[in-house]
Amino acid sequence: MPLDKNYNRREMDPVIVKNSGSPLKLELINEVRINKSAVEKRCASVINRRTVKKHNQAAWLLKAITCMDLTTLSGDDTESRVLRLCNKAKNPLRNDLLEDLGIEDLNIKVGGVCVYHQFIRTALDNLQGFNIPVVAVSTGFPAGLTPKKTKILEIKESVRSGAQEIDIVISRRHVFSGNWNKLYDEISEYKEASGNALLKTILATGELGTLKNVAKASLVCMMAGADFIKTSTGKETINATLPFTLVMSRAIREYFELTGFAVGYKPAGGISSAKDCLSHMILIKEELGSKWLNPSLFRLGASSLLSDIERQIEHFATGQYSSFNRHGIA
257 Cβ contact list (under 8 Å, min separation 6): none
Q: Which of 27, 32, 63, 3 is nearest to 309 (CA)?
A: 63
pLDDT at 55: 87
Per residue of the chain (330 residues), what is the pLDDT tens digit? 566 555 444 444 555 678 999 999 999 999 999 999 999 999 999 988 767 888 899 999 999 999 999 999 999 999 999 999 999 999 999 888 888 888 888 889 999 999 999 999 999 999 999 999 999 999 999 999 999 999 999 999 999 999 999 999 999 999 999 999 999 999 999 999 999 999 999 999 999 999 999 999 999 999 999 999 999 998 888 999 999 999 999 999 999 999 999 999 999 988 989 999 999 999 999 999 999 999 999 999 877 899 999 999 998 888 876 665 665 554
- Name 122's Cβ contacts closer than 8 Å, sequence gap at least 6: 79, 82, 83, 86, 115
For residue 85, what is the DSSP state? H
State CA 230 to chain mean position distance. 6
| Residue 13 falls inside a structural domain | no
Helix count (H) and strand count (E) of the chain?
14, 7
Mark whether 18 is an active-site residue: no
Catalytic-residue membership of 308: no
The domain spanning residue 177 has which CATH number?
Answer: 3.20.20.70
User: What's the pLDDT score for residue 4?
Assistant: 58
Residue 8 lies in a domain: no
pTM of this prediction? 0.92
- State the DSSP H helix or E strand holding residue 7, giving kind and residue range, or none if neither: helix 5-8
Distance, CA of 156 to CA of 264 (rounded, Å) = 22
Looking at residue 6, its pLDDT comes to 53
Q: Choose, from 88, 230, 276, 308, the residue flagged as catalytic.
A: 230
Judge whether 15 lies within some domain. Answer: no
**Residue 282: which domain range?**
23-324
What DSSP state is assigned to residue 300?
B
| Active site annotation includes 230 | yes
Q: How far is CA 64 from CA 8, 67, 91, 273, 280, in A?
A: 11, 5, 14, 12, 10
Residues 6+ apart with CB under 8 A from 87: 126
For residue 1, being part of any structural domain is answered with no
Choose, from 63, 88, 167, 227, the residue flagged as catalytic. Answer: 167
Tell whether 183 is covered by a domain: yes
The tally of domains found in the chain comes to 1
In a domain, 4, yes or no: no
The answer to whether residue 17 sits within a structural domain is no
**What does the pLDDT read at residue 317?**
83
In a domain, 6, yes or no: no
